Amino acid sequence: MDSFIVCGGRRLHGELSASGSKNAALPIMAATLLSAEPCQLHRVPDLRDIATMTTLLESLGATATRHPTEATLAVDSSAVEQFRAPYDLVKTMRASILVLGPLLARFGQAEVSFPGGCAIGSRPVDLHIRALEAMGAQVAVESGYIVAKAPRGLQGAEFCFDTVTVGGTENAVMAATMARGKSTLRNVAREPEIVDLVQFLRAMGARIEGEGTDMLQIEGVPALHGATHEVMPDRIEAGTYLVAAAATRGEVKIEGISPEVLGVVMDKLALTGAEITSGENWVSLDMKAQRPTAIDITTEPFPGFPTDMQAQFTALNAVAQGQSVVVETVFENRLMQAHEMRRMGAEIDIAGDSARITGREQLQGAPVMASDLRASASLVIAGLVAEGETRIDRIYHIDRGYENIEGKLQCLGADIRRLAT
Ligand code: EPZ
């Protein structure tokens, strides 16, 4: 398993381009199962999770071919004849559950290994199942598999989600595109990645209204055709580099992303004392070599502060001026990076879903271990600002969601290298 070696103390400076969004590309790849015609996806990031979803689509009988030099994926689901997402793939990537809705909608059947929990929480899928049952699916759990059947097809339905769920919204809206009649989905997720998925589905011929609001209305159609789509930029990747620049008192410009997509993350960065400027398709942060000011964070579904940016801001607060409180309300166990940061001298007290942080002028490099994707990124940020060397083990977590992170950071002046161990 590879490790990163980071030598801290350097201010980041320079420019980089945002990659395509992992959390938009994954549901969009699953959505290609809805059509028997080929789809062309552009700005698909080169990530482990994308490779896993590609393998899953191919195991179902689709072909998914990445262009040798461009970030383009050509998917053809015309020959799909398998409807089972196996355990060995689902256990490596929970987002495999996103094939459930499309397979059910197009083929009337699907078997997906019941995704277990992960480091950040139990990650149930009860709401995915209840939404599909509302559309007439018969769903059972047999020998660790979710077995869903709709022999007479799906029926449009009214459904309200008890909890806002990104994946549950995605499975339900994909299923509803080919259900008979109209579906109204309430208390749905409003993330930009949902908007991007809906735009792709509409390009395939789906009839959907309300994306970005808490209610989606879908008029089912008999079939969907192929489409071409450019995946939106990754707002979490971009936010991670902006936080890294702020924590190291440096400056960075990120091309290919709009400030609107970053939303409240930009507001929070401004509160740290950063000078934020932006244009239609770029954002820039400059700390003017100043130490950031600590800021309180509470995670919430979009448009609230994104849980996927919480660990990165915890690292920023660990070296900021002043005290702060970080509250994680979306997942039940997503403060684990704090334990590793304490090994680097961070002053963080955890009580329940909250971390109380007293910023330190300096952290000390130390060997630490990544536990999940965003916690890994926060440990890289901590290593960038720590005195001395930090070794981060189990960085396969980070390769799931950050395209060439060491290369991008090296371009910004960081001293980081990958150690194949
Ligand atoms: C998506 O996960 C993202 N993953 C996550 O990003 C992100 O953290 C999360 O949304 C929240 O924004 C992808 O898009 C591939 P949820 P998802 O269903 O869909 C509860 C990353 O780092 N819930 O919105 O699995 C659940 O327990 C990853 O890129 C139910 O109770 O998240 C959680 O508390 C990590 N029942 C809350 O909803 C259900 O049936 C939000 O989870 C489903 C969810």
Q: Whose CA is nearest to atom 14 of ligand 1?
A: 23
Radius of gyration for the chain, computed over Cα atoms and rounded to the nearest angstrom: 21
Q: Which residues are catalytic?
A: 118
pLDDT of residue 409: 98
Q: Are the beta carbons of 177 and 34 closer than 8 angstroms? A: yes
Cβ(195)–Cβ(229) below 8 Å: no
Q: Is 245 in the pocket of ligand 1 (CB under 6 A)?
A: no
Answer whether residue 118 shows pLDDT above 80. no
Ligand 1, atom 13, lies closest to the CA of 23
Ligand 1 site, residue 314, Cβ cutoff 6 A: no
Q: Is the CB of 30 under 6 A from ligand 1?
A: no
How many percent of the chain have pLDDT more than 90? 93
The answer, yes or no, to whether any atom of ligand 1 lies below 6 A from the CB of 234, is: no
Write out the H or E segment, with its range, that includes residue 407: helix 405-411
Is it the case that residue 283 has pLDDT exceeding 90?
yes
Q: Report the mean per-residue pLDDT for the chain.
A: 96
The answer, yes or no, to whether residue 25 has pLDDT greater than 90, is yes
- Which residue pairs from 355-358 have beta carbons closer than 8 angstroms and sit at least 24 positions apart in sequence? 355/314, 355/325, 355/326, 355/328, 356/323, 356/324, 356/325, 357/294, 357/314, 357/317, 357/318, 357/323, 357/324, 357/325, 357/326, 358/323
pLDDT of residue 120: 79
Confidence check: pLDDT of 159 > 80: yes
What is the spatial distance between Cα 309 and Cα 316, in angstroms, rounded to a whole number?
11
* pLDDT tens digits along 136-154: 999 999 999 999 999 999 9
Task: Among 47, 166, 308, name the best residue to mutate to test ligand 1's pocket (greatest count of ligand atoms within 8 A of Cβ).
Answer: 166
Mean pLDDT of 91-102: 95
Which pLDDT score is estimated for 344?
Answer: 97
Q: Is 162 in the pocket of ligand 1 (CB under 6 A)?
A: no
Residue nearest (by alpha carbon) to ligand 1 atom 41: 165
Nearest to 77 by CA among 93, 95, 62, 55: 62
363 pLDDT band (50/70/90 cuts)? very high
Report the candidate in 37, 42, 38 with the shortest Cα–Cα distance to residue 24.
42
In this predicted structure, what is the pLDDT of residue 119? 75
Question: 30: pLDDT confidence band, cut at 50, 70 and 90?
Answer: very high
Per-residue pLDDT band at 114 (split at 50, 70, 90): confident
The ligand 1 atom at the shortest distance from the C-alpha of residue 126 is 40
User: What was the pLDDT predicted at 123?
Assistant: 79
Question: Is the CB–ligand 1 distance for residue 127 below 6 Å?
Answer: yes
318 Cβ below 6 A of ligand 1: no
Of ligand 1's listed atoms, the one at least distance from the Cα of 167 is: 19
CA 310 / ligand 1 centre spacing (Å): 14
CA of 69 to the centre of ligand 1 (A): 32
Phi, psi of 195 (to 5 degrees): -60, -45
Kindly indicate the confidence band of residue 393, based on its pLDDT and cuts at 50, 70 and 90. very high
What atom in ligand 1 is closest to the CA of residue 97? Answer: 25
Contacts 24+ apart (CB under 8 A), 191-194: 191/23, 191/166, 191/301, 191/302, 192/21, 192/24, 192/232, 192/235, 192/261, 192/302, 193/21, 193/23, 193/24, 193/27, 193/166, 193/232, 194/166, 194/169, 194/170
| Ligand 1 atom 7 nearest Cα | 308
pLDDT at 117 over 90: no
Strands 215-219 and 207-209: antiparallel
Q: Average pLDDT of 375-390?
A: 97
pLDDT higher than threshold 80 for residue 65: yes
The Cα 137–Cα 147 span in angstroms is 10
On the question of pLDDT at 376 being above 80, the answer is: yes
Per-residue confidence (pLDDT) for residue 225, from 0 to 100: 98
Do strands 228-230 and 39-42 pair parallel, antiparallel, or not at all (unpaired)? parallel
Give me the pLDDT at residue 346, please: 98
Highest mean pLDDT among 89-93, 168-172, 392-396: 168-172
The 3-state DSSP composition of the chain as helix, strand, coil percent (nearest 5) reads 35, 30, 40
pLDDT of residue 167: 98
Q: What is the mean pLDDT of residues 107-132?
A: 89
Q: Mean per-residue pLDDT for 357-377? A: 95
Least confident of 115-119, 120-124, 330-334: 115-119
> Please, are residues 363 and 344 in contact by the beta-carbon 8 Å criterion?
yes
pLDDT at residue 407 greater than cutoff 90 = yes
Confirm or reject: Cβ of 401 under 6 Å from ligand 1.
yes
